[in-house]
Amino acid sequence: MSEQGCDNMMIIIREYNHKTDYERVERVESSCEVGPNGELSLFTDLLGDPICRVRNSPAYLMLVAETVSNGVNEKAEIVGMIRGCIKTVTCGQKLSRNMPGELSKLVPVYTKLAYILGLRVSPFHRRMGIGLKLVSKIEEWFRDNGAEYSYIATDDANGPSVNLFTVKCGYSKFRTPSVLVHPVFAHRLPVSHRVTVIKLSPSEAESLYRHRFSTTEFFPRDIDSVLNNQLNLGTFLAIPKEYIWAGPGKFLSDPPENWAVMSVWNCKDVFKLEVKGASRLRKCFAKTTRVLDTFFPFLKLPSLPKIFSPFGLHMLYGLGGSGPMYTRFAKSLFGFAHNLAKECKCGVVATEVSSEDPLKLAIPHWKVLSFTDLWCIKRLGEDYSDGSVGDWRKSQPSLSIFVDPREF
């Protein structure tokens, strides 16, 4: 716990306590807008604990900022919070040193990475340095637990957030992935009749991911924990209709020319979102599109889900594949994932891809709902060094990134 003065108030930074803090944290959370242009608000945390969004990580912590007026006997007020987690991820790749006569191969280079999620400060207590104090305190915990880098994701248009991290906290702009969002229609999306979609077991998915994606930037070394999590709805593989599936071993040794893979994470059971600020006319228009799509599905009209009421989403992650037509296979997988989200009564499906990834153009999405994310990174200790990668901050963007759904 730390205490710092701020004008006539004392600011206490301490660890979150669910029994005493939940309701007060929820009030702050509901007063803060999130998402592009500030129109998206976190409606409710369904698991009943604001720390649940990082609880699935190997190491995690949530801090709150509490203010008490100096010299006045008032109940302490929570005015801010921050979540953080630490995990081991791929930051680069190098050639393995094999025995004479063996072919060298690329193997991942790992680093211990911290991630800041859910920094919130009450609108009535901003520009008082509370956000900076929260970031500084959680960075202390990162360093104490051996993290080499810390990073955050924010909307590039969020000036105050970008300024806090890049100017005041020493972070540098690192990657600019695209968040692609698609509404869930009342009608189903087509899946190519030339494609077979099979569901992999967690062990099969782990084998595929470790074999083909472990050198992808940000790939989590504990991918098995992700795939075995109860929020993971499955990993789905799209293969040619004529290809006979005989298990991951045969597939990895002799894959078809074209294939694609995608996993689905159930954010719907963790939190719900709500778009606010829409006019009555827009709400009426959205309802009309749903009615038409429901009664005339053969027209395939694009319909807006009930985004003006609390809605859930599915996060698509682990996207990838191989072959000259693999983006078409990925598009069929997206149709499959959309239809799964429809059955689960989700409002939208979302994914995040590198700005260089060809899937950015292949995955269906609505530009009005999608946006560019900004990832900022900071080196926490100059003593950390790896001759294979050097300073990760100075590396060039790779073609793909592996987005961890636990941080979405």
Which residues have C-beta within 8 Å of that of residue 333, sequence separation ≥ 6? 197, 236, 238, 260, 261, 262
Answer for the pair 381, 392: CB distance below 8 angstroms, yes or no.
no
Using 50, 70 and 90 to split pLDDT, how confident is the model at 376?
Answer: very high
The pLDDT value recorded for residue 8 is 61
Instruction: Pull the structure tokens for residue 400.
Output: 């793909």
Q: In what order do the strands lie in the sheet with 40-45?
A: 33-34, 40-45, 271-275
User: How many whole angstroms separate alpha carbon 199 and alpha carbon 7?
Assistant: 58
Q: By CB neighbour count within 10 A (0-12 exposed, 13-18 middle, 19+ buried), where does 142 fall?
A: buried
Residue 158 pLDDT exceeds 60? yes
Query: In 3-state terms, what secondary structure has residue 87?
Result: strand
Q: Which amino acid is at 38?
A: G
Query: In 3-state terms, what secondary structure has residue 137?
Result: helix
Using 50, 70 and 90 to split pLDDT, how confident is the model at 93?
Answer: confident
State how beta strands 178-183 and 348-353 pair. Answer: antiparallel
Q: Which amino acid is at 374?
A: L
Please count the other Cβ atoms lying within 10 Å of the Cβ belonging to residue 203.
12
Residue 300 pLDDT exceeds 70? yes
Over residues 199-213, the mean pLDDT reads 96
Of 123 and 146, the structure prediction assigns the larger pLDDT to 146
User: How many whole angstroms separate alpha carbon 333 and alpha carbon 336?
Assistant: 5
Instruction: Indicate the helix (H) or strand (E) that contains 375.
Output: strand 371-379
Using 50, 70 and 90 to split pLDDT, how confident is the model at 38?
Answer: very low
Query: What's the CA dihedral at 282, 27, 226, 331 to 10 degrees?
Result: 10
User: How many whole angstroms separate alpha carbon 231 and alpha carbon 408?
Assistant: 12
Query: In 3-state terms, what secondary structure has residue 86?
Result: strand
The pLDDT value recorded for residue 47 is 47
The pLDDT value recorded for residue 387 is 46
The pLDDT value recorded for residue 157 is 80
Identify each DSSP E strand in 47-164 by its residue range: 59-69, 77-95, 106-121, 149-155
The pLDDT value recorded for residue 385 is 47
Complete domains list, the chain, with CATH? 2-176 (3.40.630.30), 179-373+398-407 (3.40.630)
> What is the value of pTM for the model shown?
0.87
Answer for the pair 83, 109: CB distance below 8 angstroms, yes or no.
no
Instruction: Pull the structure tokens for residue 16.
Output: 């979150």
Q: Where does 297-370 have alpha helices with state H? A: 326-343, 359-362
Q: What is the pLDDT of residues 316-370, one digit of tens each?
A: 999 999 999 999 999 999 999 999 999 999 999 999 999 889 999 899 999 988 9
Instruction: Indicate the helix (H) or strand (E) that contains 325.
Output: none
Considering the chain, what is the average pLDDT of its residues? Answer: 86
User: What is the percent of the chain where pLDDT is above 70?
Assistant: 86
Using 50, 70 and 90 to split pLDDT, how confident is the model at 4?
Answer: low
Beta bridge partners of 342: none
Of 56-70, 108-122, 145-159, 161-175, which range is least confident?
Answer: 56-70
Which residues have C-beta within 8 Å of that of residue 87, sequence separation ≥ 6? 57, 58, 59, 112, 113, 115, 220, 221, 222, 404
CA within 13 Å, CB half, 102 = 9
User: What is the percent of the chain where pLDDT is above 90?
Assistant: 55
Of 298 and 318, the structure prediction assigns the larger pLDDT to 318
Beta bridge partners of 377: 151, 172
Instruction: Indicate the helix (H) or strand (E) that contains 223.
Output: helix 223-227
Instruction: Pull the structure tokens for residue 163.
Output: 């300024």
